[in-house]
Structure 1
């Protein structure tokens, strides 16, 4: 079995080797573009002969020549979509796939899902004054417009002053602003949710909320300042902790292997509860764990299947403790165990391609030849497919092709190209002839003799002087 390059060029000797196409560069699977820019979709490949390129869009042939805004780069499959003379980027959203072909086979790119970044306007709404009793819990909903990618959320007053956050008042992962208990001073400002859209560098502001805090027991500031308990000084009834998010005593969450897990517990109560985190029957992984948002969020980086289990948060104040249990399931998009590798065989030799992937659920394996399902490809008596393995026995000239392995489950897919090249090449010495190598007497030296051939040649080094 050989791994080789398009050209074998040691020293000054160089000769071309036939090679099926290999994809060397491509755009990411989920490709979000700026609506103000031209679009380019990358696809580069090498091979000998030099590959030609075609594209599909949404599963159908994409005729680049018929679209005046689209051009393909020279000696490349990369597409350029130019909007300087007009046109809407949204018209080019869809799923693209690149095909690189030469006489020996066809390599294919991933399916590239192109979307145009969006920053929709906030729907107009008139917000009523929020009346709330001092000491009660409060949630100010943000409900940002569904941008692509989702916007970053932050809260400010209408005069663009940041809202102070602490363990009593803080923003949740969903963008809402949570008050564990409302205080009279919370009415001194208004509250506006802001959405920052990264691609378009724009910020949109929601109409502000105004609070009216109702007090049961009026107090004077002198008695408050001299009192050791801020809540009893104001006549606020103490409350047992209860969860504002998630609601109830239990919930569940799914996360994919390799991603970060972010759990959240936000509790109300008087006094403001403290939050602590635990994992049932185990320990939190210290090196990958962070506590965020005043201990209301548990962040575990780069999760694996071992991070599945039950996590619970405890919300405690002097009145009591509440518990919420979160059942975490770690699933997995397909990941490689054995990625198929290029295979070079001589006529009559045997070989195999292996494609093994794992995931949760376990991925299914599909083989393709030159971009077409292997079941519908021309029959090849030297080829046998058994699940994740393609066996070749007594392979013959004309069997060169590019094979694709697709491993997929409900969470994603992997696509790998591997070429099978059947070569019958006489042995060649690749080093320059009559090369003079100078060495120091009684010292060791190394004589390199690069060579190539198919089948793999047997190499013997001879001392010509010993033959005379």
Structure 2
């Protein structure tokens, strides 16, 4: 399959090849245009472009000023383009036209005016002196030499390198080249040179100087403005061009120049006025720029006005003509429509020459009509529309075709299948010129129009109400003056297709599956195809999981709808197609499902515990709503919760209810859910958030208890009331208590809603005194209920004596064990809950001591420094606090173990025996003595070290010290260990020296190999 860009390229190539293979007359693709060429000696050649397409390829001729050009040394053809060698402005300037011809005819291009830009020199003859009085006006004539092309004028004063600057007093006209001085001053005396520059050739020439001198016979009197430079009274301007209006006045004082429109409209915003105000330029001329423009020159003596009208004109544009391939004796009509201002006139050309009119040929303006065309009328036609701004051509080719009828490209369809009772259209469209007359025959009998048989104007045969007897061969016969031809087709009549088991309308419930049948009878050779449509759209079984066509055979194509959803409700159409007919049958599926979401939920009257709700019913999805339930959500709830209503069960015909048992002063959102016999529907949109009114709180605190604290304190505790049950603002607690057996309550108010504890202090309260306690609630609406009365004990007394017989035992350089006699319980101290052991270094304060809390009369202190004196003290603790500390006892930790590991571990294997040796470790002065060594062995599996507690074995040479005597520095592995080594491929992991301070640094890991296993030995 082609990609889109590949298809685009293929179509382009096909179009190019088709155009290249189609024979047609010439068509210009490039035409000459008006041009001005500079005459340069270094490249003395000029090209005038012309190119046309055609098949056969056109050949070219050129005309200049209406005369055919003979190709010579000056003229050459280059693929249709005209090359002019060594052009001369006089001999080769003119109006050129290109002519393209092939066997189908001739066309001529538009006329192109060709000019050559040049600029000759000024005459060297000296110029006369100009004498003028001061204050008088003067005009210095430029008198440019012969030239062609755009010219720019300027003046040089006294031979200065820069040009004379123009201002309101001095003006250089670009139409005449003259220099105008409105009022002469003494500084104007000098020599003036006119400079002319050709803008195309860049050639510049200078005139002879014109001397200007002052006359001494008096000053010139003041003078009214005299407009010396002005524009034409009527000026035709073409669309899109740029127009410049010049206006300059002489006078004393120097006149000022202003511009305006006589119709009162503002000057165009795109207008440009030069700094001397003498030139008004309007670029990109448009119809709205047309009108009468005035130049006003004014001084103190008066004013003068020059005016001119700008008339909008446009070039010619017109429609194109279409080529015509027409049969002989047909009527041709072409219409050439052009627009322009002034209105264009039309001329018609045939093969480049004026069309010769005769009785059959009628020209009315741009319309050409030729009746009863013949072969001689073939050729290239051009419509020429022209006005004073130019001419434009439209070309078209007329091919007159004369041929006998031909069915090769459009024969009668060879075989047509049609169902009995139907209608058939048999087309007959031969290619013939002129158009052929058509007749039909069946077998050898020609057909005539009847109630069932009709031969239409275009030759098509229509047969209606087909019967079996209409089957057979039909022949179309075409005739014209150039011959006769025929084409035959066969009509085959088939029995019509009928749907015998159509789908039936059915009701279904969401989640069910149904089958819609569709069975047909008819001609089995027609191979019917089944299609199903749902709500007018074809079902794509590959993209829709719910639909499946089942039982697909030549006569059946049932539709199964699986797991039906509400969206499957609608019209289903079974359509059966054959090559001769199509039949269809429709059924409706109604899907019953849970109801849709209720709509328009509104919250009405609100109290402290109720809310009135109303709503509108949503879609019932073909099953009436039986009940409505209401759900609520608060900032304190987890999701939506069902709430109680009045009535308790809202029937499906009721659309309002009252929600009850709401908490006061709580923000609520509500939603309504409908149910029917199918199930529970989607909930409605939640209501806007509302807040119930405040009320006196009705929930008392729970789990009121207490006890503990310091001596003389009564501690009362309770569970705080959740925010959703506080019922209003300014919520707080009322705590009441009294000694057991008394009648007067003491109360205190706690304004914090989060309070959960209150402590009453009075040093006169005996330890463990009993109090009756209750806790109530209140808010800004009033005081709520109190809790049940409970009995709470006051704080007990701290222990009054320290533990006795405190003694210690040093375990190592970092650990000490402490023991003491426990304190005997007394009624006043109630219960000892633990002990605090204080430990601090000698020379430090007890306040800096580290403390360890324990419940038993013993403690292990670790993380201590070696060879250090510590002070130890113990005190008892109960719920009231800690008692006095015992007298401090001194204890000194042991020296730290040796810091150096065993070194130079060696091993030797002899007769399945492994002998290890290492250097003895000597303890330093502040370290404890070495008492033995520890050797650990681990197994290595697949030569990778694997360490675990289960694989660790300790070897020692004698029972005391634990692993080896301190004066031994070697070991022989015993047979039991050797057997273990053989089984587990052991590694001697480390050797550590042993002292009374336990393990310390181990030696480096040693890996050895012997008897097929690895042994690493490490000392301790």
Contact 1:347 1:397 in 2 (8 A): no
- In the other structure, the counterpart of 2:346 is 365
Cα distance in structure 2, aligned partners of 1:145 and 1:127:
14
Separation (CA, whole Å) in 2 of partners of 1:198 and 1:167: 26
SS at match of 1:323: strand
Q: Distance in 2 between matches of 1:326 and 1:214?
A: 35
| Residue in structure 1 matched with residue 319 of structure 2 by the alignment | 339
SS of the equivalent of 1:144 reads coil
Q: Residue 355 of structure 1: CA displacement?
A: 2.4
Deviation (angstroms), 1:35: 4.7
In structure 1, the partner of 2:31 is 26
| Pairing 1:117-266 to 2, within 5 Å after superposition | 117-157=117-157, 158-173=159-174, 174-187=176-189, 189-214=190-215, 238-246=222-230, 252-258=233-239, 259-266=241-248
| Alpha-carbon distance between aligned partners in 2 of 1:153 and 1:118, rounded to the nearest angstrom | 15
The change in CA–CA distance for 1:257 and 1:251 in structure 2 (over 3 A counts) is closer
Distance in 1 between residues matched to 2:10 and 2:395, nearest whole Å: 23
TM-superposed CA distance for 1:78, in Å, is 0.9
CA contact (8 A) 1:35 1:89 kept: no
Structure 1 residues 426 and 371, CA gap change in structure 2 (3 angstroms) = farther
1:71 maps to 2:81: no
SS in 1 for 2:188: helix
Q: Which residue of 2 aligns with 1:321?
A: 302
* C-alpha distance after superposition, 1:362-385 (max 9, x if no partner): 332111111111126xx694x542
Asked whether 1:417 is paired with 2:394, we answer: yes
Determine the structure 2 residue equivalent to 1:228: none
Flag the 1:127–1:88 CA change in 2: closer, same or farther, 3 A: closer
1:80 aligns with 2:64: no
**In 1, Cα distance between equivalents of 2:244 and 2:178:** 16
* 1:160–1:371 CA distance, 2 compared to 1 (3 A): same
- Asked if structure 1 preserves the Cα contact closer than 8 Å seen for 2:260 and 2:294, the reply is yes
Deviations 1:401-453 (A, max 9, x none): 322222233x243131311343879999xxxxxxxxxxxxxxxxxxxxxxxx9
Between the two proteins, the alignment pairs up a number of residues equal to: 395
Question: Does the Cα contact within 8 Å between 1:18 and 1:49 map onto a contact in 2?
Answer: yes
Q: Give unpaired runs (5+ residues) of structure 1.
A: 1-7, 218-234, 429-452, 456-464
Shift in alpha-carbon separation, 1:365–1:155, aligned structure 2, 3 A: same
Aligned residue for 1:91, secondary structure, equals: helix
2:369 to 391, 403, 424: 391
Corresponding position of 2:293: 311
Measure the CA separation in 2 of the matches of 1:251 and 1:98: 37
Q: Deviations over 1:384-410 (max 9, x none)?
A: 42221123567666644322222233x
* Equivalent position SS for 2:269: helix
The 5 Å alignment of 1:51-66 reads 51-64=58-71
**How far does the alpha carbon of each residue in 1:66-120 deviate from its partner, in whole angstroms, 9 at most, with x for none?**
x1343212xx21122334xxx8564333333211011222111122333333212
Q: How far 1:56 sits from its partner (Å)?
A: 2.4
Query: C-alpha displacement at 1:305, in angstroms?
Result: 5.6
- The answer to whether the 8 Å contact 1:31/1:112 transfers is no
Structure 1 match to 2:46 = 39
1:296, distance to aligned residue in structure 2 (A)? 1.6
Against the structure 1 CA distance between its residues 46 and 426, is the aligned structure 2 distance closer, same or farther, given a 3 Å change threshold? farther
Q: Equivalent residue of 1:287, what SS?
A: coil
Separation of aligned partners in 2, 1:255 and 1:176: 24
| Partners of 2:28 and 2:109 within 8 A in 1 | yes
1:290 matches 2:272: yes
Q: 1:407 to 1:284 in 2, by over 3 A?
A: farther
**Residues 389 and 241 of structure 1: is their aligned pair in 2 closer, same or farther, counting only changes over 3 Å?**
same
Deviations 1:151-201 (A, max 9, x none): 2111113243321221111212321111111111112x4211111123433
Tell me which residue corresponds to 2:251. 269
Q: Does 1:403 align with 2:389?
A: no
Partners of 1:30 and 1:427 lie apart in 2 by: 53
What residue number does 1:5 align with?
none
Give me the whole-angstrom Cα distance separating, in 2, the residues matched to 1:53 and 1:177: 50
Whether the aligned pair in 2 keeps the contact of 1:196 and 1:204 (CA below 8 Å) is yes
Q: Distance in 1 between matches of 2:286 and 2:407?
A: 50
Q: Note the C-alpha offset of 1:33.
A: 4.5
Instruction: Give the whole-Å Cα distance in 1 for the aligned partners of 2:408 and 2:267.
Output: 57
Shift in CA distance, 373/291, structure 1 to aligned 2, threshold 3 Å: same
* SS at structure 1 position matched to 2:91: helix
1:49 corresponds, among 56, 79, 82, to 56
**CA distance in structure 2 between the aligned counterparts of 1:267 and 1:325, rounded to whole angstroms:** 10
Give the direction of change, closer, same or farther, for the CA distance of 1:375–1:35 in structure 2 (3 Å limit).
farther
The answer as to whether partners of 1:131 and 1:214 remain within 8 angstroms in 2 is yes
- The 1-side partners of 2:36 and 2:374 are apart by 41
Q: Tell me the TM-score normalized by structure 1.
A: 0.73
Q: Is the 8 A contact 2:384 2:394 kept in 1?
A: no
Aligned-pair RMSD on alpha carbons?
3.5
2: distance between equivalents of 1:209 and 1:125? 11
Aligned pairs for 1:109-120 within 5 A:
109-120=109-120
Q: Which has the higher contact order (CA 8 A, sep 6+)?
A: 1
- CA spacing shift, 1:354–1:275, aligned 2, 3 Å: same
Structure 2: 5+ residue stretches without partners: 1-8, 410-430, 434-528, 530-576, 580-1020
Please say if residues 25 and 44 of structure 1, whose CA atoms lie closer than 8 Å, have aligned partners that are also in contact. Answer: yes
> How far off is 1:20 after superposition?
1.4
**Does structure 2 conserve the Cα–Cα contact (< 8 Å) formed by 1:346 and 1:454?**
no
1:237: how far off? 5.1
Shift of 1:312: 1.8
Counterparts in 2 of 1:88 and 1:266: CA distance versus 1, 3 Å: closer
C-alpha distance in 2 between matches for 1:364 and 1:112: 19
Pick closer, same or farther for the CA change 1:148–1:344 going to 2, 3 Å.
same
C-alpha distance in 2 between matches for 1:9 and 1:370? 36
> Are the structure 2 counterparts of residues 404 and 346 from structure 1 closer, same or farther at C-alpha, using a change threshold of 3 Å?
closer
Query: Rg larger in 1 or in 2?
Result: 2
Matches of 1:203 and 1:28 in 2, distance apart?
A: 28
Deviation at 1:360, TM superposition (A): 4.8
**C-alpha separation in 2, matches of 1:426 and 1:312:** 75
